[in-house]
Amino acid sequence: MSPTRTVTPYAGLNGRRYLVTGATSGIGQAVALALREQHAEVVALGRNPEALTALEAAGCTTCALELTDTEALEQAIFDHGPFDGLVNSAGITHVEPALTLPADAIDQVFHTNARAAAMAARGVARGMIEANKGGSIVNVSSQASLVGLDDHLAYSASKAAMDAITRSLCLEWGAHNIRVNSVNPTVTLTPMAQKVWSAPEKRDPMLAAIPLNRFAELADVVEPILFLLSDGAGMISGVCLPIDGGYTAR
- Contact between 149 and 89 under an 8 Å Cβ cutoff? The reply is no
Q: What is the pLDDT along the chain (250 residues), one digit of tens a residue?
A: 444 455 578 888 999 999 999 999 999 999 999 999 999 999 999 999 999 999 999 999 999 999 999 999 999 999 999 999 999 999 888 888 899 999 999 999 999 999 999 999 999 999 999 999 999 999 999 999 999 888 788 999 999 999 999 999 999 999 999 999 999 999 999 877 887 788 888 899 999 999 999 999 999 999 999 999 999 999 999 999 999 999 999 8
Q: What is residue 73's predicted lDDT score, i.e. its pLDDT?
A: 97
Q: Catalytic site residue 155?
A: yes
Q: What is residue 1's predicted lDDT score, i.e. its pLDDT?
A: 45
- Contact between 191 and 30 under an 8 Å Cβ cutoff? The reply is no
Angle separating helix axes 116-131 and 153-173, nearest 10 degrees: 20
Q: Catalytic site residue 159?
A: yes
CA dihedral 195, 197, 200, 205 (to 10 degrees): 180
- Domain boundaries defined on the chain: 17-188+219-243
Residue (of 145, 44, 139) closest to 89 by Cα position: 139
Q: What is residue 92's predicted lDDT score, i.e. its pLDDT?
A: 84
Q: What is residue 197's predicted lDDT score, i.e. its pLDDT?
A: 81
- Catalytic one among 155, 195, 202, 247? 155
Q: What is residue 4's predicted lDDT score, i.e. its pLDDT?
A: 47
Class of domain 17-188+219-243: alpha beta
pTM: 0.93
- Catalytic one among 10, 18, 159, 247? 159
C-alpha to C-alpha distances, 155 to 33, 93, 116, 135, 244, nearest whole angstrom: 26, 5, 14, 28, 17
Q: What is residue 6's predicted lDDT score, i.e. its pLDDT?
A: 53
